[in-house]
Structure 1
Amino acid sequence: MDFLYVKALHIIFVVTWFAGLFYIPRLFIYHVEAEKKPEPAKTILQTQYKLMSKRLWYIITWPSALLASFFAIWLLVKNPYYLSEPWMHVKLAFVLALYFYHYYCQVIYGQLQRDIIKYSTFKLRIWNEVATIILFAVVFLVTLKSAINWIWGVIGIILFGVLLMLGIRLYKKIREKKSWEKAEKEGLERE
């Protein structure tokens, strides 16, 4: 098969893998939020989120991860000189980090399927951004390739991550304030 076809298939499956990794933590968040709902809404929602998670995880995310890796290995076998490039070593380190992220999503998935809730929605929102940071890092590395540029790119990714965390904290405060204001308004209406 031609190199460009293999490369295109690799990119397609990387995109679908990331789509799964972006969406699965959102389902985790919704599942945990449903825990606070009264019955029967809690059971109905959590059952639905379990089903959605299972389909996303095993029909899209896992197959995409395996196929993206398969085509990546194929590319490296056809073009081993990439392995001598410093930027490729850094990229592969980020890919390894992505597999750790994927594995930990698998752990959370398994816990939620067994109705074990260990994480707050706030922690899951932060966790949701890890894949975004890895994606930015890999795209910059593959595009820029120069040692100085990827170092600046990685520093930029770290700063981007800090900004994301601050944004999440701000979002949490806004949600808490609106929730408090809504409760206060409902309390006044009852009186």
Structure 2
Amino acid sequence: MLWLKALHLIFMVTWFAGLFYLPRLYVYHAMSSDEISNERFKVMERKLFFGIMTPGMIVTFIFGIWMLIDYAWVMYSQSGWLHVKLTMLALMVVYHVYCGKWLLDFKHDRNTHSHVYYRWMNEVPVLFLIGIIILAVVKPF
């Protein structure tokens, strides 16, 4: 069971690394004005989203579901913290999908947001990380 938890955490860190870095790339991309930079950011964003973030999310979910099936599912009906954590995970997936939408907007040169917007969006994963870690470790309710 500890191996499952360790692997779950390793891939969660991988997923979060992408969630933290991709919006930062969008900040710089939104500020770029030359074609060389524009094309370079498109490549970096695509590789991060499809090569690191999305696989990290998928494997995080595989090990998370495995842990739920193995031992946490029995506690599920009595664990309010787990309900909130799973809700936060669902919201993180929505954020992940929005990152993919922004990726497509940049890819097709139709971004309408400023670098300031992406600076704010870059802070969203911090809130998820704080909430999820506190829920999973402290189990406050």
Give the TM-score of the pair, scaled to structure 2: 0.95
**Residue in 2 that maps onto 1:30:** 28
Alignment CA distance shift 1:66-1:89 (3 Å): same
- Aligned pair in 2 of structure 1 residues 82, 45: CA closer, same or farther (>3 Å)? farther
Q: Which runs of 4+ in 1 moved over 3 A?
A: none
Alignment-mate amino acid for residue 69 of structure 2: V
The one of 65, 84, 88 aligned to 1:90 = 84
1:49 has 2:41 as partner: yes
Q: 1:83 offset after TM fit, Å? A: 1.5
Measured after TM superposition, the shift of residue 81 of structure 1 is 2.2
Offset at residue 97 of structure 1 (A): 0.7
Q: Distance in 1 between matches of 2:29 and 2:138?
A: 39
> Separation in 2 of the partners of 1:132 and 1:82?
27
Shift of 1:118: 1.2
| Cα distance in structure 1, aligned partners of 2:115 and 2:75 | 40
Q: Confirm whether residue 121 of structure 1 aligns to residue 119 of structure 2.
A: no
How far residue 146 of structure 1 moved from its aligned partner, in angstroms, is 1.9
Partners of 2:35 and 2:75 in 1: CA distance: 50
Q: TM-score under structure 1 normalisation?
A: 0.71
| Distance (Å, rounded) in 2 between the aligned partners of 1:138 and 1:82 | 17
Match of residue 101 from structure 2:
107
Who is 2:55 aligned against? 63
Which structure has more RCO (C-alpha within 8 Å, separation ≥ 6)? 2
Distance 1:143 1:5 in 2: 17
Local SS of the residue matching 1:115: coil
SS at match of 2:11: helix
Q: Which of 57, 66, 71 is matched with 1:74 structurally?
A: 66
Return the offset for 1:142. Answer: 1.1
Gaps of 5+ in 2: none
Q: 1:63-100: per-residue Cα shift (whole Å, max 9, x none)? A: 00000001100000101124221100000011011001
Q: Considering only CA atoms, is the larger Rg found in Structure 1 or Structure 2?
A: 1
Which residue matches 1:16? 14
Percent identity, aligned pairs only, is 36
Letter in 1 for 2:36: I
Give the conservation status (yes or no) of the 8 Å contact 1:17–1:64.
yes
